[in-house]
Amino acid sequence: MEQVRYPSPEAEAVLARMSERRIGADPELEKQVSEILEAVKREGDDALLRYTRRFDAPELEARNLTVADEEIEAAYGEVDEAFLDSLRKAIENIEAFHRPQLPSSWFTARPDGTFLGQLVRPVASAGLYIPGGKGGETPLISSVLMNAIPARIAGVESIAMVTPPQRSGAVDAHLLVAARETGVTRIHRAGSAWAVAALAYGTASVPAVDVIVGPGNIFVTLAKKMVAGEVGIDLLAGPSEILVVADHRANPAYIAADLLSQAEHDAMSSAVLVTPHEPLARKVLEELEGQMAELPRQEVARESLDRYGAAFLVEDLDAAVALANRIAPEHLEIQTEDPWSCLGKIRNAGAVFLGDHTPEAVGDYFAGPNHVLPTAGAARFASALGVEHFLKKSSVLSYSKAALERDTPHIARLAGLEGLGAHARSVRLRT
């Protein structure tokens, strides 16, 4: 992880390298994903089973593409009470955060007989993509919670979950329990682009859905990109990232630990420190070396830090915040003497973590806000996954005769300027 002054040509080179992580057009990958989508669209379960056997579970049978209720019930006997306690407390926190996001339909009536409003309704069905994690051996429980709970709060009646099975064909018991506890109505053993295709187009075993959400690898992301428009999607998630703004009194051990919490995800992750205090930057780099030696995934973390990590030295905290806004990170931590004074200046961040005792990990698992966040600079225009991703809004209009007579000249004039005579006639006929 290099230390570099900002602004400078060296800093621009680092930023350019970081920007290469954005999801771009790879013709070969896109061709592969397109072929997978077409195969599932054309062949249904046959293609779904073929890909799943090839890449995940060689002995999986068609009748087991959908997880049976009995398997879910049996899963409760495979998890301990401590897990259930932590799971249910996390669910409670996430529900409490997301419930206020639920908007209401609204209507206004005027004395002239004009009635206008907006009808808010949930989509009928949603599909949640839950990554398998190391061949299905490391269950990503938090992804179930963050995707399913907003859908349930929105009022979605049919919530499907797809996840790659383990080589044996099993799905981790913790995932099954988390799905049941959060209101998932059906679970399918399928992953990667073929699972997205099944959700988008439907097969005999996997009914099509209206919205697909959830993070995944590049194949999942490209598949979501290609089916967007036929179904709704949340966002195109890229590799994980964190940016820490810190001043002279920040704890270097805390910062190093938080940077590594993202660097260990994969070699494409980005971990960045921005500080006006050079001694702090040096101490953080020393801490990184010491802590990294204790990590099971130290090789991944080291590659991430070497390729996409940096400690930017800036003039002051205002410059630090300006650089953070430019990068627009997925996770932004502010470890300064007065972090709240910086908050009002933050324009672009997926989630903001304030103070020494708010590591990014509390947001990943337990605090309540959603951890499905915009990456690769998308925080400039995108938001975290939330209840609104599972809702649609319909405008409602009703005019009285008097109101239409009053507005007809204006409507007809505007329609005439656009050369749309039938529009003008449709209002004139009524007055």
Give pLDDT, residue 25: 62
Sheet holding 115-122, edge to edge: 106-109, 115-122, 391-398
330 is catalytic: yes
pLDDT tens sequence for the chain (431 residues): 999 999 999 999 999 999 988 766 688 999 999 999 999 999 999 999 999 999 999 999 999 999 999 999 999 999 999 999 999 999 999 999 999 999 999 999 999 899 999 999 999 999 999 998 655 567 899 999 999 999 999 999 999 999 999 999 999 999 999 999 999 999 999 999 999 999 999 999 999 999 999 999 999 999 999 999 999 999 998 899 999 999 999 999 999 999 999 999 989 999 999 999 999 999 999 999 999 999 999 999 999 999 999 999 999 999 999 999 999 999 999 999 999 999 999 999 999 999 999 999 999 999 999 999 999 999 999 999 999 999 999 999 999 999 999 999 999 999 999 999 999 999 999 99
> Alpha helices of 107-216 — where are they, by DSSP H?
141-154, 173-181, 192-201
What CA–CA distance (Å, rounded) separates 364 from 367? 8
What CA–CA distance (Å, rounded) separates 242 from 349? 10
Give pLDDT, residue 261: 96
Give pLDDT, residue 8: 97
What CA–CA distance (Å, rounded) separates 341 from 360? 19
pTM of the model: 0.94
Task: Report CA dihedral (25, 27, 29, 33) to the nearest 10 degrees.
Answer: 100
Q: 117 to each of 107, 309, 402, how far by Cα in Å?
A: 4, 49, 19
Give pLDDT, residue 53: 97
Selected catalytic residue, list 181, 264, 330, 333? 330
2 is catalytic: no
Dump the DSSP string for 77-106.
GGS-HHHHHHHHHHHHHHHHHHGGG----E
Contacts of residue 209, defined as CB under 8 A and 6 or more positions apart, other chains included, come to 123, 125, 126, 127, 158, 160, 199, 200, 231
Structural domains of the chain ordered from first start: 2-22+239-367 (3.40.50.1980), 27-233 (3.40.50.1980), 400-428 (no CATH)
What CA–CA distance (Å, rounded) separates 334 from 352? 8
Selected catalytic residue, list 265, 331, 371, 389? 331
Helix (H) or strand (E) run with residue 221 in it = helix 218-227
**What is the bridge-based pairing of β-strands 186-189 and 158-163?**
parallel
Q: How many CB atoms lie within 10 A of CB 429?
A: 8
Give pLDDT, residue 133: 63
Give pLDDT, residue 238: 87
